[in-house]
Amino acid sequence: MSDIHSEKILILDFGSQYTQLIARRVRESHVYCELHPYDMGLEEIKAFGAKGIILSGGPKSVYDEGAPAIEEELFELGIPVLGICYGMQLMSRHFGGEVIAAGKREYGHAELQSVGTPGPLFDGFFADGKSPVWMSHGDHVEKMPEGFEMIAKTANAPVCGIQNVARNLYGVQFHPEVNHTPRGDALINTFVRKICGCSGSWTPGQIIEDAVARIKEQVGSDQVILGLSGGVDSSVAAALIHKAIGDQLHCVFVDNGLLRLDEGDQVMATFASNMGVKVTRVNAQQRFYDALAGETDPEKKRKIIGNLFVDIFEEESNKLKDAKWLAQGTIYPDVIESAGAKTGKAHNIKSHHNVGGLPDYMKLQLLEPLRELFKDEVRTVGEELGLPHQMVWRHPFPGPGLGVRILGEVKEEYCEILRRADAIYIEELYESGHYHKISQAFAVFLPVKSVGVMGDGRTYEYVVALRAVETKDFMTAGWYPMPYADLARISNRIINEVKGINRVTYDISSKPPATIEWE
């Protein structure tokens, strides 16, 4: 088995909204990393075997009562450490520096200025001694820590970059992980590849080779059942597991009545007909509609849908001899965002139906071959496995499907209206060339009626909202500036072609404060 985890970076999370971005930048350097809470014990840190450690930013002041602290012996392990924002302030204070509340806080763009010799971390970072960066801090380092050199500053922060090259300790006050710091990805790449000495074995081909070996070792001769949804994650999981164990994989496609238009037929054609994967189609629309009847709470709807999926999987697995594993397309952000979000130190925004284990009564064990991967990594693995480009690069679709794109109670009538409106919307985005410029687009059904007029008659029908966002990480997102002419055409088609709709709106909310999905 290839050992692509032998070189890895440990990221300790102090509660920054950008911590996931740090991990993504490290992965983009083809180096494996994991996020763990800031209070990870020293023995656990040693056992992790990191080639380098990154301390994230955080919302607290280092002097606040109960502020996140660190195992300070960490700095004595001889492992390269990069402190970002709050992480740099902790490092500074440990070595005798002074952190104070800034007279003028810095949030947003700033110009970083080189001071003296940049050193190994900032190799190639400055152009003419300057570089644009993104700041988000209230405190700053006022007095330099002992044994460190200052390598950067801004007009408002006297110390924005520090280094102790002999001990391989580095700190930056700005956020290199965000897109607003143009050369930030290069700085993180320098840290993990040059300073930490990682060779970069975390590539799609190596990920597949490693995953196939692990699946074979884990499963042996057992039978595996996988819930196939047609989305990117479950599709890539199916292709990966099928590559590893072939006919030992049995896919169950649950047509729950919450899918996009004609999606059931498309899933069967792709996997059963073209890839030779064993797929059982279960028509369970009415079971889901009955289970959801009368429920309006988004979290409860998610739980109902997820639990019913599990029940159906168990029913199907009982029909299979020696079925001992339930495979899921769980990916790393699902793990991070559920059960306390990030690393257990932030608020839970929403639960993911495929995270959190299985009921005690269920006999199957979990198989999650994508659990370590971010969405972009899943897509590149999917292409490497030979899945159709259009499937791999399809916009994300939530596990609960239309169940969380219908606000309030889910009814069959609402599903039919929404899937037809959504199909027109997506078709128009493809035709106009917008689809691949947008990170995610979909229609939302609003359970309210508005007055309209069609022909010479008054109408009183439902409303749909259109959503389209641009994002690189799905942690933050901006609404997509759709041309008015395209919006007008889409609205006109939906109102004329979908019976039951007489009004279309366009969502211009960013994340935050809104989420991408409405529920």
- Work out the pLDDT band at 353, boundaries 50, 70, 90: very low
How far is the CA of 448 from the CAs of 102, 329, 487, 506, 508, in angstroms? 49, 34, 21, 16, 19
Question: Whose CA is closest to 231, among 96, 439, 126, 378?
Answer: 378
- Work out the pLDDT band at 349, boundaries 50, 70, 90: very low
- Which pair of structure tokens corresponds to residue 483? 């041309």
- Alpha helix positions (H), 83-175: 86-94
Q: What is the amino acid identity at position 16?
A: S
Share of the chain above pLDDT 90, in %: 68
Question: Is 70 found in the same domain as 171?
Answer: yes
- pLDDT for res 338: 65
Given a cut of 50, is residue 191 above it in pLDDT?
A: yes
Confirm whether 153 is domain-assigned: yes
Confirm whether 518 is domain-assigned: no
- Work out the pLDDT band at 368, boundaries 50, 70, 90: very high
- pLDDT for res 229: 81
| CATH number, domain containing residue 489 | 3.30.300.10
Residue 229 is labelled as binding a ligand: yes
| 246-250, 267-271, 453-457, 484-488: range with lowest mean pLDDT | 453-457
What mean pLDDT, rounded, does the chain reach?
A: 90
Show which of 162, 195, 228 is a domain's final residue. 195
Residue 234 is labelled as binding a ligand: yes
Show which of 392, 426, 450 is a domain's final residue. 392
Confirm whether 2 is domain-assigned: no
Given a cut of 90, is residue 316 above it in pLDDT?
A: no
Residue 342 contacts residue 212 (beta carbons within 8 Å): no
Residue 235 is labelled as binding a ligand: yes
Confirm whether 519 is domain-assigned: no
Q: In sequence order, what E strands does 62-123 have?
A: 81-84, 98-114
Question: Is 445 found in the same domain as 323?
Answer: no
Q: What is the mean pLDDT of residues 119-148?
A: 90
> Annotated catalytic sites, by residue?
85, 175, 177
Given a cut of 80, is residue 361 above it in pLDDT?
A: no
In degrees and rounded to multiples of 5, residue 241 shows phi and psi of: -65, -40
Q: Which residue has the higher pLDDT, 452 or 338?
A: 452
- pLDDT for res 4: 85
| CATH number, domain containing residue 82 | 3.40.50.880
| 85-94, 181-190, 314-323, 504-513: range with lowest mean pLDDT | 314-323
Question: Is 368 found in the same domain as 350?
Answer: yes
Q: How far apart are CA 441 and CA 334, in angstroms?
A: 20
Question: Is 188 found in the same domain as 243?
Answer: no
The residue range of the domain holding 94 is 8-195
SS3 content of the chain, % helix, strand, coil (to 5): 35, 25, 40
Handedness of CA 509, 510, 514, 518 (dihedral sign): positive
Question: Is 318 found in the same domain as 416?
Answer: no
Question: Is 348 found in the same domain as 304?
Answer: yes
Confirm whether 150 is domain-assigned: yes
Q: Which residue has the higher pLDDT, 360 or 38?
A: 38
Q: Which long-range contacts (CB under 8 A, 24 or more apart) does 445-454 make?
A: 445/402, 445/405, 445/406, 445/407, 445/414, 445/417, 445/418, 445/421, 446/407, 447/406, 447/407, 447/408, 447/409, 447/414, 450/502, 450/503, 452/502, 452/503, 454/495, 454/502
User: What is the bridge-based pairing of β-strands 223-228 and 323-327?
Assistant: parallel
Question: Is 233 found in the same domain as 187?
Answer: no
Question: Is 215 found in the same domain as 180?
Answer: no
- Alpha helix positions (H), 73-132: 86-94
